[in-house]
Amino acid sequence: MSTMTHEAGTAVADRPRPNGHAAIRLSGVEKIHRTDRIETVALSEVHLAVKPREFLSVMGPSGSGKSTLLNVIGLLDRPSKGTVEIDGQNVGTLPDRALAAKRNREIGFVFQTFHLIQDLNVLDNVEIPLLYRRLAAGKRRALAQEALERVGLSARTSHFPSQLSGGQRQRVAIARAIVGRPTILLADEPTGNLDSQMGDEIITILEDLNRTGTTIVMVTHDQRLASRTGRIVRLFDGRQVE
Amino acid sequence: MLINYLKLAYKVLLRRKFFTFVSLFGTSVTLMVLVLASAMLDHAFSPLAPEVRLDRTLLVTYMAMRGEQNEWSGDPGYGFLDRYCRNIPHVERMSIYTGAHAVASFVNGDKVVSQLRRTDADYWSILDFAFVAGHAYGPSEVANGSHVAVISESAARNLFGGRPAVGRTFETQGQTFTVTGVVRNVSRVREAAYADIWAPITTLPTEVWKTALMGDCNAMLLADSRSSFRSIRSEFAARLPHVVMTEPDRYQTMAGSPRTRLDDVAAGAAGTSGDIPRTGMFIGALALLALLFMLLPAINLVNLNISRIFERVSEIGVRKAFGASTGHLVGQFIVENIVLALLGGAIGLLLSVWALQLINGSGLLANADFRMNPRIFLYGLGFSLFFGVLSGVYPAWRMARLDPIEALRGGSR
């Protein structure tokens, strides 16, 4: 499958996709968190197909399963039941190592709290996903620089996260998420820690990425931002209600 | 990737200075002690001048005469060594010599204390002393009981000041000796060679030593090769039943065996009678001690590392989310620990050089010259890496197996 073997330098929009495959397909997905005493149903009977190049937002109250859904799509968590397909491939049977490789190649993450490594400068932070590919240092640097240019931070490469504003940190996090040219970008409340102006800037960047071919699934509480995406999925108590 | 890891390792070390200090202190001090111990062992057991043939030398330093009610153990006597230990097959040369004993001389009214050892002529052909002037005494001087002596540089300085010593005389124990040669100082650790003054064994004041089975003498048996040790010991053992006891009413048998230097030290350390030195057990105990000595700080470092790595769960979560496998993360933390261990190792080696100089200069062990040699440096490097891997693998493996979602929840920046 071409999307599984692409090189980091290939533009997302240029990559062919198999006809008829959803970028993401969840069928009857259930996720139950079990402890010794209790079972919590985080997701129940979720059926979701996200088309290639779609920009989808997931909304719902706290505890409705939004982040769990994102974790399952992002291959960070395995569903208790049901199947998950990424670009037509059922990932349920893949071992952890293969899941890690698939995350590295095909999925980018943006977190609400940025999760930048404080001891590394901006360029080194952005480079992280490329460390787990067999790429020469020069190539990594060039790709990281390019990703930073896309988010308008090419002048801050040697700054450390503590020297940046919240909006700038999130832009670094987006650059890190897209540096490996993933087909799918998962954003968990990317504007949650930002004021509305910075939030708008971040959404504009995501819209831009979506226009160039990236499939985006964004969790948000903000109806105004969600309305700028192509589709809204609502969850309540782990169930898909819309 | 390695450069990225190294860069991060450097930053992490600077971030937690106290942790870094504790880790470096633990590693470097442990390493220093181990390097000192290995330098001392090296100095004591390696074939170094003048004991350059130590690797194929057996020593007869301990014998026991036993009777039903009595036992006399200790250094053998000249009579036993001369009569029963000569001409053993595979022994190229044999030397009999006394222990080194403190003797006094008076120079311009000042008391000068030296260590005097009396030897035969073969002593000089088995050991390789570095003569700075003159020469050793030979078989004729020994046979004639000539009052000649070889002295060390420090004895020459003490007895004669800065003047040339060869040909001069000095007096000690009521005897006057003429100096035939001056040799470089010998370390106290070199048991068979160490002394300040060496004189022919035939200058001993009485005649009793010539026939004594037990006394104050030792022998060096220079084998044609190390592989002959077993047959030499067998022949030695075969001769013991034929020893004619000088006090048969008190002692009926003799026991003992030629030993290597290591056997000798092992027997001394174990406090055994010496018939069986139990060298294997001694080496095992030393190895166990060294292992424990390394293991305890390593366990401590493991705990410190777990705490340190726990502070970085968020980073682990991010790396896992972006495709790092358990192997990648274990590799990263091991690289960090190896950097820390090598840094500790470098400091430890510097401390060792300093400590060795301190010991050499302190006079704690006369004429000791402990040195850092390349072999010991490599031991040190090996120890450091051992520390790095030992203290890094377990916490790294544990942390790398963290659930990425839990890890991402663990920190937020």
Domains of chain B by residue range: 2-46+281-409, 62-258
What are residue A156's phi and psi, to 5 degrees?
A: -115, 25
Amino acid B220 reads M
Q: What is the mean pLDDT of chain B?
A: 87
- pLDDT per position as a tens digit, A41-100: 999 999 999 999 999 999 999 989 999 999 999 999 999 999 999 999 999 989 988 999
Out of A109, A117, A118, the one facing B321 most closely (by C-beta) is A109
Query: Which pLDDT score, from 0 to 100, does residue A34 have?
Result: 85
Query: Which pLDDT score, from 0 to 100, does residue B206 have?
Result: 86
Q: What fold characterizes domain A52-78+95-240?
A: Rossmann fold (3.40.50)
Q: What is the mean pLDDT of chain A?
A: 88
Tell which wins on pLDDT, B252 or B188: B252
State the count of interchain CB pairs (< 8 A) between A and B.
74
Out of B4, B317, B320, the one facing A124 most closely (by C-beta) is B4
**Average pLDDT estimate for B13-40:** 81
> Which of A106-120, B153-167, B286-300 has the least mean pLDDT?
B286-300
Any A CB within 8 A of B308 CB: no
Query: Which pLDDT score, from 0 to 100, does residue B376 have?
Result: 65
Residues from chain A contacting residue B313 (CB–CB below 8 Å): none
Residues from chain A contacting residue B318 (CB–CB below 8 Å): 115, 117, 128
Query: Which pLDDT score, from 0 to 100, does residue B276 have?
Result: 63
Structural domain spans, chain A = 52-78+95-240
Question: CA of A104: which chain B residue's CA is closest?
Answer: B323
**Average pLDDT estimate for B385-413:** 74
On whether the CB atoms of residues B267 and B66 are closer than 8 A, the answer is: no
**Average pLDDT estimate for B29-57:** 84
Q: What's this model's pTM, rounded to 2 decimal places? A: 0.65
- Which residue pairs from B234-241 have beta carbons closer than 8 angstroms and sit at least 24 positions apart in sequence? B235/B88, B235/B89, B236/B60, B236/B85, B236/B88, B239/B84, B239/B85, B240/B84
Of A50, A54, A48, A57, give the one whose Cα is nearest residue A224.
A57
- pLDDT per position as a tens digit, B135-145: 999 999 999 99
Of B389, B392, B375, B296, give the one whose Cα is nearest residue B35.
B375
- Å between B413 CA and nearest CA of chain A: 5
**Average pLDDT estimate for B55-74:** 92
Query: Which pLDDT score, from 0 to 100, does residue B305 have?
Result: 75
Query: Which pLDDT score, from 0 to 100, does residue A169 have?
Result: 94
ipTM: 0.88
pLDDT band for position A11 (50/70/90)?
very low
Any B CB within 8 A of A76 CB: yes
Question: CA of A131: which chain B residue's CA is closest?
Answer: B1
pLDDT band for position B184 (50/70/90)?
very high
Cβ contact, residue pair B323, A129, below 8 Å: yes
Q: How is residue A173 annotated by DSSP?
A: H
Burial category of A66 from C-beta neighbours within 10 Å (exposed 0-12, middle 13-18, buried 19 and up): buried
Disruptive mutation site among A33, A69, A96, A128 for chain B (greatest number of B CBs within 10 Å) = A128
How large a percentage of chain B has pLDDT more than 90?
A: 48
Is the predicted pLDDT of residue B371 greater than 90, yes or no?
A: no
What are residue A106's phi and psi, to 5 degrees?
A: -115, -10
Question: CA of A96: which chain B residue's CA is closest?
Answer: B325
Query: Which pLDDT score, from 0 to 100, does residue B277 have?
Result: 63
Cβ contact, residue pair B413, A118, below 8 Å: yes
Residues from chain A contacting residue B405 (CB–CB below 8 Å): 71, 76-77
Any A CB within 8 A of B412 CB: yes
Is the predicted pLDDT of residue B59 greater than 60, yes or no?
A: yes
